[in-house]
Amino acid sequence: MALQLLSWNCNGLNSPQKRKSVFHLLKKEQLDLICLQETHITRLHRKLLINKRLGQEFISLDKVKKRGVVIYAKDRLSPKLIFKDDQGRFVAIEIQTQGEKILIVGIYAPNEGKSDFFKKLHETLMDYLDYNMILMGDMNGVVSTHMGKAQRQVVTKDGRLPKTFFEMTDNLDLVDIWRTRNPMAKEGTFFSEAKMTWTRIDQIWVTRGMAPKTRKAEICPKTCSDHNAVKMEMKLTPTGSFRWRMNDTLFRDEEVLKKAPKTLRDYFEINMNTNVEKRVIWDASKAVMRGFLIQQNAVKKRIQNEKKDKILEKIKESEKD
């Protein structure tokens, strides 16, 4: 089974004719997930973005005709909203398919203040480390001025994504899937006539472990927007073959590093002097360690949530004062 995704800066959907053209093109693609940026639709007119043929809509809009991000997801993916901002910059949903839980984040990054924007997004996403992730949208910057930018003048560092963006992708273990699939290609998604420059500012980033499942990642031909869409197709894990994924960040915790060997020692001391086959004892030890790590992960998450709740309570008390 395949999952097909598309990310596209549509450069405004207020015009009925433009909206009709965009929705018609998307419907023909028969996509599972669609992320549109720069819709320019206000919160007051959010109903203009509802299109059940494309899927269930998840929307982040501003009060004015600026920005705007919407994700459409098919009902069979059991989509649900996880978080969004109120300025039309990002929206995140969870989908579940073939035993996998994936966090989808639609992004429309600002031209100014990108460093702070990606820093705050990074902090938000750190609460969802147990998810596989797909980040897609208009990042308003290139990964490399050499490979992601083509122009008639001398190539400069102008337009490169900030350090905070790469800190985010490193910590979340994300890869630029188009570049991964097209290591030597030079293609752009936006052409600036003023600077005579092609830039690949529209991107899709995925958790590294998902990259081998990607069948293709391509930049689509330009149609009714000044940006090219980016499309990706992923092969999903067959039903019944889903495997538990270890949270290896647990081993940065000194307490876990002390408890893990003790848990195994205690298990082997109890079971090695029985009549059970050594092979069975060894196989069962893996299940014991997996159970231990699942338990520690739950404890760590509970403690984090308790700390967060206390901070939020203090903020509420301060606001009341």
Binding site, by residue number, is 9, 38, 138, 140, 226-227
DSSP letter at 238? P
Q: For residues 139 and 165, is the Cβ–Cβ distance under 8 A?
A: yes
Nearest to 237 by CA among 209, 200, 259: 209
Exactly one of 62, 108, 176, 202 is catalytic; which is it? Answer: 108
Residues making up the binding site for Mg(2+): 9, 38, 138, 140, 226-227
Exactly one of 32, 138, 176, 202 is catalytic; which is it? Answer: 138
Strands (E), the chain: 2-9, 33-37, 56-60, 69-73, 80-84, 90-97, 100-108, 132-138, 149-151, 174-176, 190-192, 197-199, 202-207, 214-219, 230-235
Q: SS3 of 88, please? A: coil
Nearest to 4 by CA among 51, 73, 90: 73
Nearest to 89 by CA among 74, 103, 107: 107
Q: Can you give the three-state secondary structure of 152-195, one letter per residue?
A: CCCCCCCCECCHHHHHHHHHCCEEEHHHHHCCCCCCCCEEECCC
Q: For residues 27 and 53, is the Cβ–Cβ distance under 8 A?
A: yes
Q: What Å distances lie between residue 78 and 51, 55, 98, 119, 137, CA to CA?
A: 17, 11, 11, 29, 22
Q: Is 72 a catalytic residue?
A: no
Q: Is 45 a catalytic residue?
A: no
Exactly one of 62, 85, 176, 227 is catalytic; which is it? Answer: 227
Q: How far apart are CA 45 and CA 14, in angstroms?
A: 9
Q: Which residue is listed with tokens 């639609």?
A: 106
Q: How many CA atoms lie within 13 A of 201 on its CB side?
A: 25
Q: Is 122 a catalytic residue?
A: no
Catalytically active residues, by annotation: 108, 138, 227
